[in-house]
């Protein structure tokens, strides 16, 4: 099973839709807005100077409202859309400059895509849909079916190999789509609103499936969503787009603690902070408490408050992954941070957005 080993570097990426797109890039660089470009030249600005490093083996979420450019961005990574200007670097190559042969191999060997609308062949069985990518690559039928059956089982569809898509629920169909992408053993998974069409409970279940698989597989996953709760649950890094621009990027904790502007603040206003902020962010560095409770630094506030409450104590010591003592946190501080923002000196400056 191939783990991802290469970052994706997106540099100064522009996309303008229209017959004379290239001639308008300089105007956009000089400050022409999306509205001005449309009004004066009848061209549409899709992406405006995107700079983003997508780390290997992590889940990068790109979120924004409809029309923000998030789906346009993800389709540049496998070049379903060609950029107007800029670079997309992966393993020493600029995807934007790949030849047809190189691009075909990149799509077949290095990337897999999971769509919102499942994109299954209705007249093919689950097994046939799952082996599709391997068949295109010329893998033998026996090997393709062995690999497909393994991933069908991993996503929880044992016994449905010979079923057709119309015999499956929406959540089950999306599991087929995920199994198909994983069967190809690609380093990069592109997931465009993959769970948006699902009912809330099924959606949560699929998020759990993805996180469980990712803990083992360490793929580079680019996940598009318009839902902040989903972004915060899945994303190790989050980039928020508006009108084709990245407004803010960082960890979920950084974005919740330090929204860059009113637009971002409106996104995070109703977030359950206890599900996002870790004790490391609010602990008193170096302090030590007489308490039987010791928590990992990555423990979320709600989990920490529950642990202290269950142990009937008011303090917990915090330790790093190596077991080293890092500091101490109080139950009252955890509860206060869950209720309202606090700019006190206890907040770790590393949690702030650069």
Full DSSP string of 272-341 = -GGGT-BHHHHSEET-----S-EEETT-BHHHHHHHHHHHT-SEEEEE-TTS-EEEEEEHHHHHHHHHS-
Q: What distance in Å separates the CA atoms of residue 77 and residue 90, rounded to the nearest whole number?
A: 9
pLDDT band at 197 (very low <50, low <70, confident <90, very high): confident
- Mean pLDDT score across all residues of the chain: 90
pLDDT in tens, 53-100: 999 999 999 999 888 999 999 999 999 999 999 999 999 899 999 999
The residue-averaged pLDDT of 329-333 equals 95
In a domain, 209, yes or no: yes
Strands 8-17, 85-90: pairing is antiparallel
In a domain, 3, yes or no: no
136 and 113 in one domain?
yes
| Cβ-Cβ contacts under 8 Å for 160 (sequence gap 6 or more) | 126, 152, 168, 172
% residues pLDDT > 70 (the chain): 94
Task: Among 225, 246, 268, give the residue marking a domain's end.
Answer: 268
pLDDT in tens, 231-287: 999 999 999 999 999 999 999 999 998 999 998 998 888 888 999 999 999 999 999
- Positive/negative CA dihedral, 197, 44, 113, 58: negative
178 and 198 in one domain?
yes
3-class DSSP state of 246: strand
In a domain, 2, yes or no: no
* pLDDT at 353 exceeding the cut of 50: no
In a domain, 183, yes or no: yes
pLDDT in tens, 142-193: 999 999 999 999 999 999 999 999 999 888 998 999 999 888 888 999 999 9
Strands 245-250, 59-63: pairing is unpaired
313 and 250 in one domain?
no
pLDDT of residue 346: 44
Q: What distance in Å separates the CA atoms of residue 191 and residue 178, rounded to the nearest whole number?
A: 9
244 and 112 in one domain?
yes
Q: What distance in Å separates the CA atoms of residue 31 and residue 51, rounded to the nearest whole number?
A: 17
315 and 262 in one domain?
no
- Positive/negative CA dihedral, 242, 248, 250, 254: negative
In a domain, 93, yes or no: yes
pLDDT band at 4 (very low <50, low <70, confident <90, very high): low
241 and 289 in one domain?
no
What is the span of the domain harbouring residue 236? 8-268
The CB density around residue 349, as the number of other CB atoms within 10 Å, is 7
Phi and psi dihedrals of 349, rounded to 5? -65, -20
190 and 78 in one domain?
yes
Which two tokens mark 83?
Answer: 């950029």
pLDDT band at 340 (very low <50, low <70, confident <90, very high): low
217 and 259 in one domain?
yes
* pLDDT at 2 exceeding the cut of 80: no
Domains identified in the chain, total number: 2
164 and 42 in one domain?
yes
CATH number at residue 82: 3.40.50.300
In a domain, 1, yes or no: no
% residues pLDDT > 90 (the chain): 73
Supply the pTM of this predicted model: 0.86
94 and 63 in one domain?
yes
pLDDT of residue 270: 83
The beta-carbon contacts of 24-33 under 8 Å, at least 24 apart in sequence, are 25/84, 25/85
In a domain, 300, yes or no: yes
243 and 100 in one domain?
yes
Output the CA angle 223-185-158, nearest 5 degrees.
90
162 and 139 in one domain?
yes
Task: Among 268, 300, 328, give the residue marking a domain's end.
Answer: 268
Q: What distance in Å separates the CA atoms of residue 158 and residue 124, rounded to the nearest whole number?
A: 17
pLDDT band at 341 (very low <50, low <70, confident <90, very high): low
Task: Among 211, 245, 268, give the residue marking a domain's end.
Answer: 268
- Kind plus residue range of the DSSP H or E element containing 51: strand 44-54
- Kind plus residue range of the DSSP H or E element containing 247: strand 245-250
pLDDT of residue 343: 45
Q: What is the rounded radius of gyration, in angstroms, for the C-alpha atoms of the chain?
A: 23
CATH number at residue 290: 3.10.580.10
* pLDDT at 329 exceeding the cut of 80: yes
The residue-averaged pLDDT of 221-235 equals 93
């Amino acid at each position: 099973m191939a783990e991802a080993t290469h970052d994706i570097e997106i540099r100064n990426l522009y996309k303008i839709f229209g017959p004379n797109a290239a001639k308008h890039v300089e105007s956009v660089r000089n400050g022409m807005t999306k509205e001005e470009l449309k009004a004066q030249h009848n061209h549409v600005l899709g992406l405006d100077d995107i700079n983003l490093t997508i780390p290997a083996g992590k889940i990068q979420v790109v979120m924004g409202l409809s029309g923000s450019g998030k789906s346009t961005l993800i389709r540049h990574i496998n070049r379903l859309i060609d950029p107007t200007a800029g670079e997309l670097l992966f393993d020493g190559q600029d995807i934007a400059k790949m030849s047809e042969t190189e691009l075909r191999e990149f799509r077949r060997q290095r990337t897999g895509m999971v769509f919102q609308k499942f994109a299954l062949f209705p007249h093919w069985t689950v097994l046939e849909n799952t082996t599709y990518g391997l068949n295109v690559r010329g893998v033998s039928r026996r090997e393709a079916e062995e690999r497909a059956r393994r991933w069908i089982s991993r996503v929880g569809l044992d016994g449905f190999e010979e079923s057709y898509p119309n015999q499956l629920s929406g959540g089950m169909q999306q599991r087929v789509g995920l199994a198909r992408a994983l069967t190809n053993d690609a380093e990069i998974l592109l997931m465009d609103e993959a769970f948006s069409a699902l009912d809330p409970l099924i959606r949560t279940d699929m998020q759990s499936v993805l996180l469980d698989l990712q803990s083992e597989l360490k793929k580079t996953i680019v996940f598009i969503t318009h839902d902040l709760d989903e972004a915060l649950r899945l994303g190790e890094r989050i980039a928020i787009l508006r009108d084709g621009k990245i407004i803010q990027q960082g960890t979920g904790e950084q974005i919740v603690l330090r929204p860059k502007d009113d637009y971002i603040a409106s996104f995070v206003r109703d977030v359950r902070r206890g599900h996002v902020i870790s004790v490391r962010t609010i602990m008193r560095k170096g302090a030590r408490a007489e308490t039987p409770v010791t928590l990992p630094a990555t423990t979320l506030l709600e989990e920490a408050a529950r642990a202290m409450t269950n142990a009937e104590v008011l303090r917990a010591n915090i330790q790093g992954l190596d077991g080293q003592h890092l500091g101490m946190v109080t139950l009252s501080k955890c509860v206060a941070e869950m209720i309202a923002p606090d700019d006190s000196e206890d907040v770790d400056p590393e949690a702030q957005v650069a």
